[in-house]
Structure 1
Amino acid sequence: MRPCPSPLRPLLLGVAFAAISPTALLAQQTAPIVLDEITLQAATATGTIAAPAQPYAGGQVSTRTRLGALGDVDVQSAPFRAAAYTEELIRNQQARTLADVTRNDPSVRQDAPAFSERDSFFIRGFSVPNLDTLYDGLPYIANPRRSALEGIGRVDLLMGPTALANGGVGRVGGTINMIPKRAEDQDLTRVTTGIASDSQLWTHVDLGRRFGPRKEWGVRGNLSWRGGDTALDNNNAEVGVAALGLDYRGDALRATLDLNASKQDLDAPTSLFNAAAPGVPIPDAPDGDINTANPFEFHDSTHRMIAGRVEYDLAPATTVYGAFGASRYREDFLTSNYTITAPNGDAINELGFNPQEIEGRTAEIGLRTEATTGPVRHRITLSAAYALNRNNRGEFNPRLLGFPVAGTNIYDPVYLPAAPDLSGLPRADGLIPFADLRSRSVALSDTMSLDDDRVQLTFGGRWQEIRTRGFNTRPGIPDFPVGEQNYLYEDSAFTPAIAASWRIRDGLTVYGNYVEALTEGPMAPSVAENAGELFPAVVNRQREVGLKYDLGTVTLGASLFEIRQPNGITDPASNVFSLSGQQRNRGLELSAAGAPMEGLRILGGVTLMDAELRRTQDGAFDGNDVPGVPRTAASLYAEYDLPSVQGLTLNGRVMHGGSTWYDQANTQKVSGWTRLDLGARYAVEAQGREIELRANVENVLDESYWASSARGFLAAGAPRTYAVSASMKF
């Protein structure tokens, strides 16, 4: 077990034992301005820096969500499918990462193993890596591997292409946006400590204060450390997080500044599996606690980030704003790549080593204003955005390292006797350029409201330019010396967006949208023969209609969508990654959230999907199902306050993923799965202090399953795991 390098560990452990001990638990409107035929009216939501939105009934989701350049909007009237998960939900579910929160939506699935170094998502059947998540609306500054949630106050999920709203950066399936915590009007001191399978200790301190005559200055700080053995054999994880959020909220001026730092050190992290050749049956998933990684494997990373945002009201209905962010992520690792060769679980294990550094730079400026022309109220936005993502890697050829290639078995792993010699190989603090992506864009939109906002129409578009470059980092490649550019794509396009919503009667809204988005082309994965090859940008298109029904304490939703994107796949026979044909996903999403009766809260839904391959080479796979996309997915979560015991709440969740195809030919089938989670929490007040005890068990029945077969890989599901915590609010 690697010792935690942070000097905060002894302090946090001391706070943990003090907090969890029984002694500690029990001790203590202006008038309109008329200019000719245009009326400027007082704005109610032109900005995004404001007091937290009110939670919906049950406290699990928020009534408002962030739509990027379009600002904060009411979830019920937004002409898109959106969800905003609250800080209360994050705490009650003991969520540690984004994957823990997004599993509440059946259209979002984690496609990376639970005990790996990363989160990666499949949204509406399309890949969305953690690199493409947003931090306070800004791209490329969140941790590109796994984002901790200690400093996050809300997680917003916006479905479909979001280029108009989010600076032209993102993926076609949807966007995940992390909203940082802000100090509230009441002082906050909360200490949480806990333990998770097998011996993961966790301590988290959350402090919030406001200062000034009108409490205009706010400070919110979060410190946490967790470490120890996990439920996976030989796996140890240590994670440290520090987050500081500052904010100022004046009458006309509002500003925020966020500083984040995190470190993640893993021993024997698990990895993905791929199948060797077409026709090889996919074996059943191994027990979730079996680890095929060699005990000497590791993955160590650090992440540093700064982000700022400022808004100024030029007039009651006109706001100008600016935002910026920068980050640096470094990782050193020695991990395995697995190829399953037989139905009995035999596999080949090839070690991988390629340290890298990922840097992000982003900025946005814009203006939001409101005006009235006759019976129509306009909400106009104009913005310009810039984003740069740079990837640096080591100057060597990983394929020529001479690391041993060994046989193993996913049910009965065979480990190498010793680690290879890494001396003389590069580390993450001395690398050369490998690839970069730059996006520049300008967006304009007008949301027109009629009939007392019952009808809203949004027309807009974004002109965007994307440049992607690749550089050779491997000695010995003919025609391309080390450091020379070997790929360059420059693409630009204007992508329109049209959306509308109509409140038919109080509580019932129907909506529709047509959205296009220019997104960066894919990069061939590390296991492909053409690993690292870049592809040009692609245009994606979505059509969607839906309804939202707010019953007062329960909100119901239904949406029908179709998304089309050029298809990227690694051919299982040649192991070459390419763009081939088109992926067309059609789906029906049913969702619910709220409190249907006193003491009962629900959250979740069901997604039905028809994902089809089209226009493939020579029509070979036309009409086949898209690999890795299940036809049915469900996630249903509920909480119930036990009437007989005041303060005691029981909770449970059922997650289901239907069977999928692993290959484009639809010959290799991956079985479906169902998982049950159960938990409880107990809230009590002792000597003026709020105390909450929580216990959760995931995968109660200890099912073995392939949680994902997306992107040509198999990710094993986690075994039965538990988490117990105690939280005290001073």
Structure 2
Amino acid sequence: EVLRGPSTLLSGVPPFGNIGGVINLIPKRALDEPLNRVTLGYASDAQVYKAVDISRRFGEAKEWGLRFNGAFNNGATPIDNQSVHFGTAALALDYRGERLRAALDLGYQELDVRSPLRNRNVAAGVRIPRAPDLTLNQQQPWEYRDSANQQLATRVEYDLTPDLTLYSAYGRSNFRQEYFGGVLTIFNTRGDYRDPISYLPMHIVNRTAEAGLRGIVETGPIRHSFGLAAVGFWQDLAQPTAQNVGPVIVSTLYDPVSVAPRSTFGLSNATPRTSSRINRSLAIADTMSLFDERVLVTVGGRWQSLDVNSYNPATGFRTGTSESGAFSPGVGIVVKPWERLSLYANYVEGLTSPAPPVNAVNASAAFPAAVSRQTEVGAKLDLGTVGLGFAAFEIEQPFGFLDARTLVFSVDGRQRNSGVELTVFGEPVPGIRVLGGVSLLNGVQVQAQDPRNVGRVAIGVPEVQLNLYGEYDLPPSLLPGLSLTGRVIYTAAQYYDLANSQKIPDWATLDLGLRYATLFQDRPLTLRANVVNVTGNNYWATTGRGILAQGTPRTVLLSASVDF
């Protein structure tokens, strides 16, 4: 689920995110009917993918549910010298009674990458060179990133009355990673770079808890849907100073060299705590429905506190602290002049704290939180088979930047992003489905440490973004069950630096695919074939905070799923 606008009023601002919205991941739950699904897949150059999805419900009223998902992926990628080993397992248990509902989710994920690509840095004042062939790998074949993540989440809901529900939830994740390699710094327009090799272990423990009450009550002609929530988030980060291994490698983006393998033998893999973060908040909101639900008014607020601490990895003593607190209001209104048309407006605030990237020398530094604000107005039109949306918005928030010369991350000022967005989704013609939109953006630095940067374009904000996906079902007379799919993505140019002297060009990609749904021995069978970046376009995908990320090379994806 992508929740935008004042949704952060009750969900809370993500620990390192913006107030513009929340991406809510919904765990799979057991279906009413049994499911056994096996999927086999292939991705270029030589990755083999296997997955299972098993679902069952038990009990007289099918009140008990179990769902298991497992996947394993292994093999070479389209990028030279790179291979991926990926495995995941997720178990979802749930109970749904007359008044009580409960769920427990357990998960494990492992990802090992050989010769992993990292984001790049560009030296100050250097014009960003053209993107290299995306299949070239500038990292050494012996570099690696190994990671594993364990997670647990549980949730309980109880209906005190038909219109009043009490709930609580708790979650925990334990993430470990070892990285052996370097972050490239491009130092001239020819694409020459320096690659300092280092060993960096990391350990992150996240815990979160929530309790709340939601309900419905009527006061005369007004129907209230209200909610109360208390949320806490605790994080301990162990990211010691990187340990350098050997001399810096110098090479070029377009013809990278390989050097003799290096070893981590004798290096410490200890991960003492280097920083901690605590988010606490209390929220209340009420959505009032008037005039037969033709007018919806939401008012509320969230008190937030954000404490960030940094620690000396050798002594464990606290070396820095930042404590911030604020009350963040939120309001919204939806008006339906006609049944199919909704007009809306909202305003929301929240505390956000920019976090340094992992390759910053002050990666564990504590930065004070600052208030971010978003205002949005828009309209949504339901034409039955097609939905249209329009939104105009303005977001003001702090921004951080990684200095490519010193690798010091700093919160340099504030930026204001304003723009409009048009969206479309639905089936305008039987057999043709579309989903996508276009955004016109204007990002401006409104505060900066260097006053000359005020009024300049904010880093990493393109003027235009377009995403359009479509499906076409071939007529049954030709081949029933066959669908053509396609997606176009366009992103305008973006500035890399605060002074607007370094810029990456605009780019566009085309993805094409086929999906064929049929029966095999009376069992549902779905075959898929997709090609990402069909034209093989080489491009820098995005920039921001002083880092540069390259795009995805042409990749072929094949899969077959069967239910039995």
TM-score, shorter chain, exceeding 0.5: yes
Which amino acid letter does the alignment assign opposite residue 430 of structure 2? E
Distance 1:510 1:161, change over 3 A: closer
Report the Cα distance in structure 1 between the residues aligned to 2:136 and 2:549, rounded to whole angstroms: 13
Tell me how far 1:159 sits from its aligned partner: 2.9
Tell me how far 1:617 sits from its aligned partner: 2.8
Report the Cα distance in structure 2 between the residues aligned to 1:243 and 1:345, rounded to whole angstroms: 43
Report the Cα distance in structure 1 between the residues aligned to 2:14 and 2:80, rounded to whole angstroms: 38
Q: Which residue of 2 aligns with 1:511?
A: 344
> Which runs of structure 2 are paired with 1:75-154 in the superposition (5 Å)?
none
Which amino acid letter does the alignment assign opposite residue 595 of structure 1? E
Name structure 1 gaps, 5 residues minimum. 1-155, 476-481
Q: Which residue of 1 aligns with 2:372?
A: 540
Which amino acid letter does the alignment assign opposite residue 414 of structure 1? V
Q: Which residue of 2 aligns with 1:676?
A: 510
Q: Does 1:341 align with 2:214?
A: no
Deviations 1:283-339 (A, max 9, x none): 110111000010000111111111011111111100000111111011111021111
Tell me how far 1:574 sits from its aligned partner: 5.5
Q: Which residue of 2 aligns with 1:138?
A: none
Report the Cα distance in structure 1 between the residues aligned to 2:156 and 2:356, rounded to whole angstroms: 38
Q: Does 1:411 align with 2:254?
A: yes
Q: Which residue of 2 aligns with 1:422?
A: 264
Tell me how far 1:526 sits from its aligned partner: 4.2
Question: Of 629, 634, 638, which aligns to 2:470?
Answer: 638
Which amino acid letter does the alignment assign opposite residue 328 of structure 2? T
Which amino acid letter does the alignment assign opposite residue 288 of structure 2? M
Equivalent residue pairs, number: 560
Question: Of 460, 464, 476, which aligns to 2:304?
Answer: 464
Cα RMSD after superposing both structures: 1.5
CA contact (8 A) 1:167 1:386 kept: no
Which amino acid letter does the alignment assign opposite residue 325 of structure 1? G
Q: Does 1:696 align with 2:530?
A: yes
Deviations 1:507-526 (A, max 9, x none): 1101111100012x223334
Report the Cα distance in structure 1 between the residues aligned to 2:100 and 2:359, rounded to whole angstroms: 50
Report the Cα distance in structure 2 between the residues aligned to 1:727 and 1:310, rounded to whole angstroms: 33
CA contact (8 A) 1:260 1:305 kept: yes
Say which structure is richer in strand. Answer: 2
Tell me how far 1:647 sits from its aligned partner: 0.7
Report the Cα distance in structure 2 between the residues aligned to 1:649 and 1:349, rounded to whole angstroms: 45
Tell me how far 1:273 sits from its aligned partner: 1.0
Distance 1:618 1:683, change over 3 A: closer
Say which structure is richer in helix. Answer: 1
> Which runs of structure 2 are paired with 1:57-456 in the superposition (5 Å)?
156-160=1-5, 162-170=7-15, 171-172=17-18, 173-278=20-125, 280-394=126-240, 397-398=241-242, 401-419=244-262, 421-427=263-269, 430-456=270-296
Tell me how far 1:398 sits from its aligned partner: 2.5
CA contact (8 A) 1:161 1:517 kept: no
Tell me how far 1:544 sits from its aligned partner: 0.4
Aligned residue for 2:453, secondary structure, equals coil
Q: Which residue of 1 aligns with 2:520?
A: 686
Q: Which residue of 2 aligns with 1:603?
A: 435
Tell me how far 1:582 sits from its aligned partner: 1.4
Distance 1:719 1:518, change over 3 A: same
Tell me how far 1:424 sits from its aligned partner: 2.7
Aligned residue for 1:620, secondary structure, equals helix
Distance 1:708 1:161, change over 3 A: farther
Name structure 2 gaps, 5 residues minimum. none
CA contact (8 A) 2:199 2:245 kept: no
Which amino acid letter does the alignment assign opposite residue 267 of structure 2? L
Report the Cα distance in structure 1 between the residues aligned to 2:196 and 2:450, rounded to whole angstroms: 34
* Structure-1-length-normalised TM-score: 0.75
CA contact (8 A) 1:253 1:311 kept: yes
Distance 1:683 1:716, change over 3 A: same
Which amino acid letter does the alignment assign opposite residue 435 of structure 1? S
Report the Cα distance in structure 2 between the residues aligned to 1:576 and 1:501, rounded to whole angstroms: 45
CA contact (8 A) 1:572 1:663 kept: no
CA contact (8 A) 1:235 1:269 kept: yes
Distance 1:317 1:526, change over 3 A: closer
Report the Cα distance in structure 2 between the residues aligned to 1:609 and 1:346, rounded to whole angstroms: 33
Deviations 1:321-366 (A, max 9, x none): 0111111011111021111111111111111321011111111111
Tell me how far 1:686 sits from its aligned partner: 2.5
Tell me how far 1:389 sits from its aligned partner: 1.2
Report the Cα distance in structure 2 between the residues aligned to 1:243 and 1:665, rounded to whole angstroms: 46
Which amino acid letter does the alignment assign opposite residue 536 of structure 1? P
Tell me how far 1:635 sits from its aligned partner: 0.6
Q: Does 1:623 align with 2:461?
A: no
Seq. identity, %? 44
Report the Cα distance in structure 1 between the residues aligned to 2:177 and 2:333, rounded to whole angstroms: 44
Which amino acid letter does the alignment assign opposite residue 159 of structure 1? R
Q: Does 1:588 align with 2:420?
A: yes
Report the Cα distance in structure 2 between the residues aligned to 1:518 and 1:285, rounded to whole angstroms: 36
Distance 1:161 1:349, change over 3 A: farther
Report the Cα distance in structure 2 between the residues aligned to 1:576 and 1:296, rounded to whole angstroms: 27
Report the Cα distance in structure 2 between the residues aligned to 1:697 and 1:168, rounded to whole angstroms: 36
